[in-house]
Structure 1
């Protein structure tokens, strides 16, 4: 059995990964050998076969081993940041900015997206999924 991290119990990590157990979020990272992508244990993508994964104690260890971060769960982000908390946190932050008048003083949705660290297309998609309307409709 392969494991990229010393001291990690492979069976416990695999159980936590398959259950998407939030208690283990940030405590280890899963590298998928077939794609060379690493994820958080709570990643919403379809889990890879157990034979195709290795475990790392840190995101940096996964990157040193040649894995790149997953674009869905953003494992390279620091715990507690909006990127770590996910899309709903980004929409919540955008709604707060809109409520505070961000779009009222001549700034556009593109500027709001830049402030949030994403493309305007992605911001619009998130708004439609989580708020049911575009950022300008909400404003």
Structure 2
């Protein structure tokens, strides 16, 4: 459970030690950010806090293009009895649900519990379902590929785990409120864009 006062203090101080531990949703813009976002901080009464990027997206917020939530470090907040959720999150990030026939049931079996129990753990510790986390993981992977490589859109879609270019375009536009081609164009005109390299 997130403590609003602690999160608010960390956000206003741009405390880097909290980066990846929570995300800030700004209700007036419907954008979510990392605690270290360089944008002018929103008023405290206009923000809400989430345990994960997936939880923010599940609540209808879109990622900030300035602080780039897809580059946030993996949250170190889970420990002790929460290690099962952490392990499942790492497996999702490593592609455990990306291949044909993959399912939440199979993921749960890999961490030694049932699918219903895994879903309860995710609701408690992540604030989103395993499938919502998977969707966010794929979109974030795609965003990193768009930012850091010159891969074609089809190659980005496949490497990010989407089954088709059409599905990739639809999900990406739903999350960012922009098509992936607009993000690529934005990065091409940015002087800070890194040279092309593999993922």
TM exceeding 0.5 = yes
1:16 matched residue in structure 2: 10
2:187 matched residue in structure 1: 122
2:23 matched residue in structure 1: 29
Quick check: which has more Rg, 1 or 2? 1
Residue segments in structure 2 that go unaligned for 5+ positions in a row = 75-139, 141-146, 157-182
After TM superposition, the runs of 4+ consecutive aligned structure 1 residues lying more than 4 A away are: none
Residue 78 of structure 1: how far off its partner (Å):
5.6
CA offsets 1:82-104 (integer angstroms, 9 cap, x no match): x9xxxxxx8xx8xxxxxxxxxxx
Q: 2: distance between equivalents of 1:125 and 1:66?
A: 27
Residue 75 of structure 1: how far off its partner (Å):
1.0
Q: 1: distance between equivalents of 2:65 and 2:190?
A: 15
- Report the TM-score, using the length of structure 2 for normalisation: 0.41
Compared CA separation, residues 46 and 18, structure 1 to 2 (3 A): same
Residue segments in structure 1 that go unaligned for 5+ positions in a row = 1-6, 84-89, 94-112
- Report the TM-score, using the length of structure 1 for normalisation: 0.57
Q: 1: distance between equivalents of 2:186 and 2:58?
A: 32
Compared CA separation, residues 57 and 121, structure 1 to 2 (3 A): closer
